[in-house]
Structure 1
Amino acid sequence: MTLLNFLAFLEPEKGIDEIINDWFTPIAEAWGNIVLFRVFDVPFILVLLVGGALMFTVYFSFINIRRFPLSINIVRGKYDHIEHGEDPITTDNLNVVDGDIVGTIRVEGQDGEVSHFQALATAVSGTVGLGNIAGVALAVGLGGPGATFWMIVVGVLGMSTKFVECTLGVKYRDIGEDGTVYGGPMYYLKKGFAEIGKSGLGKVLAVIFAILCVGASFGGGNAAQSNQAASQLASLMGMTGGSSGTIIGLVIAVVVGIVIIGGIKRIASVTEKIVPFMAGIYVLACLFIILSNYDLIGYAFSEIYSSAFTMEAGWGGFFGVMMVGFQRAAFSNEAGAGSASIAHSAVKTNYPASEGLVALLEPFIDTVVICTMTALVIIIYNSTGVFEYGGSTVLIDGVEVEGAVLTSMAFESAIPWFPYVLTVAIVLFAISTMISWSYYGLQAWMYLFGKSKLADLSYKLMFLVFIVIGAAANMSAVWGFSDAMILALVFPNMIGLFFLFPKVKEELNRYLDAIQIKKFFK
């Protein structure tokens, strides 16, 4: 309590939550204005994301659709015997970058730390979080049902981007002497650019990404999660007062701290159990509400489609709905941000493309399935006009309602006791996301400051402090900061993908040849 007592000592007339808001909100707003700069009134970063995803989808012959069944089979372990077996290395594959023989990734693959399913579970737990509950509620409330359509579009396209970045993550990872895996955009930017003769640029981009990734782990991977978990818990328990968020944040910080001390193996062992359980409960509840209102399913989809192309407010209204959907989907599935490749890099495989194919399932699970179900529940709930779409905030009976609470109210309208179950799901979503993002941030921190015990401990302590800050701060400031931090990763990462995607083509063909499936490319 030393830090909290110190803050209270500085301004004794204010509560801890109010003090935190006073200094956190201006920082969040300033950073958001920098990252989300607009070109022709459209955030440039969203153009970069969606345009890049479309390019990769076309270049890789709609791999997000054509190779979807193959991705399922890889997760099931159908090709494990091939991936972990001998892979003859030809002289064409041998090239050395910073002392690492890139062609010997099959040997490094034997030193991976987690299975395909564990890597997917860890990465999914980093994306399937409150973006699917609170974020979708915000998107539908502020952008209307049509925002859902654009979220789905970005989710499908993002599958191709996720494939590219996670293939590169495995291809250029580092393996420590103790078998610990270090991977992600920091490494493929540095090593990959060195391969193509742009070493200086690659090193600069890698450092920029690492710095932004640390910030993103404190924001979208941490503060936003604890904020909405605390909001839902406080609402359910009727907690009020200036320190309720701080108290809940401290409890969550203790729980997360116990897990993250153990590293990626403990994180993976926890997430592979939590993620299927919580996602299963949440999806079943959504299906119950949707099927219980089967007569409104057609209405809901009609609202999604018609509102997506509405011109009632002119071109500005049309692009406004589209941008809300794009932004929420980008925050939710993080395709293009490169963060998930850090978790996927730890997989045990001899073929980088195999994990890239597994990774493309992530945006589908996150955005196409779970986000869409949440949106349908909220649209059905609002079929009687509980609140108005398109305002700057969601108001119900004159009271501003935050994202997770709106979703909770939608569930409660159909299942009176479900807010208690949803609260458990929200807390588990939040904790699992924080656990995974602590790993992402730590990898970036160690890239910058070395792989020492001191670096490890210092990062984890700061991460836990931001859990408390997020729980205490107001929603708009936290989500503004979190959006900006996650999306800022896109700049260095997408530059890397645009230069390195031909390497992914080589890896894909090598893997398809190994498992005797027809190649995309001659």
Structure 2
Amino acid sequence: INIRGFRHSLQLARGTYDDPEAPGQVTHFQALATAVSGTVGLGNIAGVAVAVSLGGAGATFWMIVCGFLGMSSKFVECTLGVKYRDILPDGRVFGGPMNYLRYGLEKRNMKGLGKVLAGLFAVLCVGASFGGGNMFQANQSFEQLAGQFTVLQGNGFWFGVVTAILVGVVIIGGIKSIANVTGKIVPLMASIYVIAALAVIIMNIQNVGSAFAAIVDGAFSPSAIKGGIIGVLVVGFQRAAFSNEAGVGSAAIAHSAVKTNYPPSEGFVALLEPFIDTVVVCTLTALVLIFTGMHEVEGMAGAQLTSDAFRSVFSWFPYVLGIAVFLFAFSTMISWSYYGMRAWSYLFGKSKRAEMVYKMLFLVFVVIGASVSLGAVLDFSDMMILAMSFPNIIGLYIMSGEVRDDLNDYLKRLKSNQLFKKQPAK
């Protein structure tokens, strides 16, 4: 589906099949932008630098493979996210793995398993929202900006306070406010980053042969890399999974708010995320590091390594990258606040008061994240995001046949022109 559905995914994201009368809160593009903003973050900058410095150039190949395979799992989880969502009379949408694990498995006479998996997922999602979706982002964005603007050094707490205020202004307004902001920030920051990365690659185009030889050799030659082929495969997959979150289930929460009558339509839109996040953005970061030779530098990791790779071509670019890193981190935080809030609502009730308690806690963790060391934050983030995938993937396997049936029905409707399609302006 990640190959044959790609063209239709682009049509849906462009709004060709948008139905303003369909139930939901946001358009296909806004749902995509919100979910992409939750994934295109510091994992693409700091995480990729970690992958290629630990696993060598060959880790790039396995990141691409992981992103490509992840397109299919995103399709399944986001289709189920829309299918089992719950829309309240006030228009608020509650969806995601909590719903499809509980009610999808209940439909298959697995009520007990469904409740356990859904509850476990919700607890882990709240933890991940405070870790990878919040503290890690605040931590790395502060480190990057403090490296370029010395006035910030030693002021992590106050940086966290200002960031928390900015995040709070957006998340108080709910998914519509989040979608409006991400719909503007994501295309802008991704475009700046992609153009800059391509410029660095073109300036070092003489290294193209040796760079791709290093990637292929590093991916398949155990003697050529630290830790052997299993080590580099694991590092590549680990960083790609942290970056695109395919199989983790988080994106299904954002996509469940979309305006549509056909759950598979959002599955198609969602499969674009790992492609944008990993196959395009992560790969460009890795190529920048490899083309400039920075992947072989020891004693440096995270966003600083990527920053130095860009600086080797554009002396002024680290300042631009510092601002881009902050925007990446900011957009990831506001998206993850929504994911965590929906998991919190599943655990503690759907009242607006319960939502406000979560939002206040989330903002406190922004300040904490900007004030602690990276090691503890990265370990906690990895653990929570990895753990979320276990209950989610168990459910995806059990319900994959159901998604296939829904997909076949959707494709029949698409062939017979039964889907809503915008008429071109006269």
1:69 maps onto 2:69 in alignment = no
Q: Which residue of 2 aligns with 1:198?
A: 110
Alpha-carbon shift at residue 502 of structure 1 (Å): 1.1
1:362 maps onto 2:300 in alignment = no
Secondary structure of the residue that 1:66 maps to in structure 2?
coil
**Residue number among 162, 166, 173 corresponding to 1:255 in the alignment:** 166
**Residue number among 94, 112, 118 corresponding to 2:30 in the alignment:** 118
Assess if the C-alpha contact under 8 Å between 1:402 and 1:475 holds in 2.
no
1:299 maps onto 2:198 in alignment = no
Output aligned runs, 1:211-250, within 5 Å.
211-239=123-151, 243-250=154-161
Assess if the C-alpha contact under 8 Å between 1:185 and 1:338 holds in 2.
yes
CA distance in 1, matches of 2:158, 2:17: 48
Q: Which residue of 2 aligns with 1:424?
A: 323
CA distance in 1, matches of 2:7, 2:344: 36
Q: Which residue of 1 aligns with 2:121?
A: 209
Assess if the C-alpha contact under 8 Å between 2:218 and 2:225 holds in 1.
no
CA distance in 2, matches of 1:80, 1:130: 31
Give the share of equivalent positions with the same residue, in percent: 63
CA distance in 1, matches of 2:381, 2:226: 28
Secondary structure of the residue that 2:223 maps to in structure 1?
coil
Assess if the C-alpha contact under 8 Å between 1:112 and 1:179 holds in 2.
yes
Alpha-carbon shift at residue 255 of structure 1 (Å): 0.7
Alpha-carbon shift at residue 298 of structure 1 (Å): 2.4
Residue type matched to 1:117 in 2?
A: F
Alpha-carbon shift at residue 453 of structure 1 (Å): 2.5
Q: Which residue of 2 aligns with 1:465?
A: 364
1:168 maps onto 2:106 in alignment = no
Q: Which residue of 2 aligns with 1:330?
A: 241
CA distance in 2, matches of 1:511, 1:463: 38
CA distance in 2, matches of 1:203, 1:289: 50
For this pair of structures, how many residues does the alignment match? 417
Q: Which residue of 1 aligns with 2:176?
A: 265
Unpaired stretches in structure 1, ≥5 consecutive residues:
1-62, 86-109, 396-400
Secondary structure of the residue that 1:472 maps to in structure 2?
coil
Alpha-carbon shift at residue 345 of structure 1 (Å): 0.3
**Residue number among 320, 323, 335 corresponding to 1:436 in the alignment:** 335
Assess if the C-alpha contact under 8 Å between 2:38 and 2:331 holds in 1.
yes
Residue type matched to 1:138 in 2?
A: V
Could you say if the C-alpha distance between residues 314 and 273 of structure 1 is closer, same or farther in structure 2, counting changes exceeding 3 Å? closer
Q: Which residue of 1 aligns with 2:61?
A: 149
- Report Cα offsets for 1:107-147 as digits up to 9, x if no partner: xxx22000000000000000000000010011111111111
Assess if the C-alpha contact under 8 Å between 1:223 and 1:466 holds in 2.
yes
**Residue number among 378, 396, 399 corresponding to 1:500 in the alignment:** 399
CA distance in 1, matches of 2:209, 2:5: 30
TM-score (norm 1): 0.78
CA distance in 2, matches of 1:456, 1:149: 41
Could you say if the C-alpha distance between residues 240 and 361 of structure 1 is closer, same or farther in structure 2, counting changes exceeding 3 Å? closer
Q: Which residue of 2 aligns with 1:188?
A: 100
Ranges of 4+ aligned residues in structure 1 off by more than 4 Å? 313-316
Q: Which of 1 and 2 has higher RCO (CA within 8 Å, sep 6+)? A: 2
Higher Cα Rg: structure 1 or 2? Answer: 1
Alpha-carbon shift at residue 487 of structure 1 (Å): 0.8
Assess if the C-alpha contact under 8 Å between 2:75 and 2:271 holds in 1.
yes
Alpha-carbon shift at residue 291 of structure 1 (Å): 1.1
Assess if the C-alpha contact under 8 Å between 2:145 and 2:152 holds in 1.
no
CA distance in 1, matches of 2:266, 2:381: 27
CA distance in 2, matches of 1:479, 1:146: 22
CA distance in 1, matches of 2:295, 2:18: 51
Assess if the C-alpha contact under 8 Å between 2:249 and 2:388 holds in 1.
yes
Residue type matched to 1:77 in 2?
A: G
Could you say if the C-alpha distance between residues 337 and 387 of structure 1 is closer, same or farther in structure 2, counting changes exceeding 3 Å? closer
Q: Which residue of 2 aligns with 1:308?
A: 219
Assess if the C-alpha contact under 8 Å between 2:53 and 2:296 holds in 1.
yes
> What CA RMSD, in Å, does the superposition of the two structures yield over aligned residues?
1.7
CA distance in 1, matches of 2:118, 2:46: 31
TM-score (norm 2): 0.95
Assess if the C-alpha contact under 8 Å between 2:67 and 2:279 holds in 1.
yes
- Report Cα offsets for 1:414-436 as digits up to 9, x if no partner: 01111111111100000000000
Assess if the C-alpha contact under 8 Å between 1:79 and 1:515 holds in 2.
no
CA distance in 1, matches of 2:151, 2:228: 38
